Structure 1
């Protein structure tokens, strides 16, 4: 399951508050980046949660909507503002600009260090990657066992189709189906020859 903004909001220890309830919080998070630059977008790839204390974000700054627009256009999934340093509370102007762009704005309370958010995302991404490797390893072992058992070709094709959630064919050199799972997949052999 991918790490999302909702995942972070659901991590009670982070104490994050969403200020843009209409923003899509189910977008996957690729990483966390911290920046106080007036324009951090050249250093972003999309999918990030961008954290800032807002040193360059004055609520009365007419460039504030452009800042938020650039973040949204770059694919930032959320902007986290650390309150209690440069800003005692979440600026209404920032919330309005983010709401207009559909960008999630998270309030990061003073007691939550940015590194805690980075670690939470890093740990979740690592767990997700480990789970994928473990699933792949388990499937590989199952296919290997099927390959050395009696009725191997049919068993391998059957298990492969099941794990793919689709169909599988074993063809000979001429393209004739030797095994198919499900059986109805045999009809697809002709489609493969013309592809």
Structure 2
């Protein structure tokens, strides 16, 4: 399973705090990206946790924060990580309110947690998920090969195949009739 915002919040070394969007923490994270652009949307693909310090944002302007958060959410950004102790001692209230209104998860990143640590945690979780998938695929291939060579007939092979694809499997003859 790919990493989720919840898995990052529960990561023992990151010390992230949820400030908004608590109901959407089970959202998968495809990548973590750092950007201080006022509009990073052209550079996003969707599924990202965007990490910011808000150097270039007008965080006192409630409407500007609404537009910013709305653009991020519309672009498919799954969460916003805000570093406190860099430019701001706390997340600006206008940003918290905008994230809350939009339902976009907003994570407070403490000063002692570098963005790189979050990126590495996301990358490691994605790699582990991919490794599990590849390993499961190889194991399925081995099991199906053993079943094909066992001489127990196509029924056993089809049953095993169906269990691996979490569905059904059928064997057809040359005329298209189910055997």
TM bracket (short chain): over 0.9
Q: Distance in 2 between matches of 1:7 and 1:68?
A: 22
TM-score where L is the length of structure 2: 0.95
Q: Distance in 1 between matches of 2:125 and 2:26?
A: 15
The answer to whether the 8 Å contact 2:60/2:92 transfers is no
Q: Distance in 1 between matches of 2:5 and 2:152?
A: 47
- After superposition, the C-alpha distances for 1:138-190 in whole angstroms (9 at most, x for unaligned) are 00000001111112322211111122222211110111222xxxxxxxxxxxx
Counterpart secondary structure, 1:177: coil
Counterpart secondary structure, 2:26: coil
Instruction: Specify the alignment match of 1:144 in structure 2.
Output: 145
Q: Which runs of 4+ in 1 moved over 6 A?
A: none
Greater relative contact order (Cα < 8 A, sep 6+): 2
> What residue ranges of structure 2 are gaps of 5+ in the alignment?
none
Structure of greater Rg: 1
TM-score where L is the length of structure 1: 0.88
The answer to whether the 8 Å contact 1:23/1:99 transfers is no
Instruction: Specify the alignment match of 1:56 in structure 2.
Output: 56
Q: Does 1:130 align with 2:131?
A: yes
The answer to whether the 8 Å contact 1:53/1:83 transfers is yes
- After superposition, the C-alpha distances for 1:57-104 in whole angstroms (9 at most, x for unaligned) are 232134121111100111111100111111111111100000111100
Instruction: Specify the alignment match of 1:71 in structure 2.
Output: 72
Instruction: Specify the alignment match of 1:33 in structure 2.
Output: 33
**Offset of residue 21 of structure 1:** 4.8
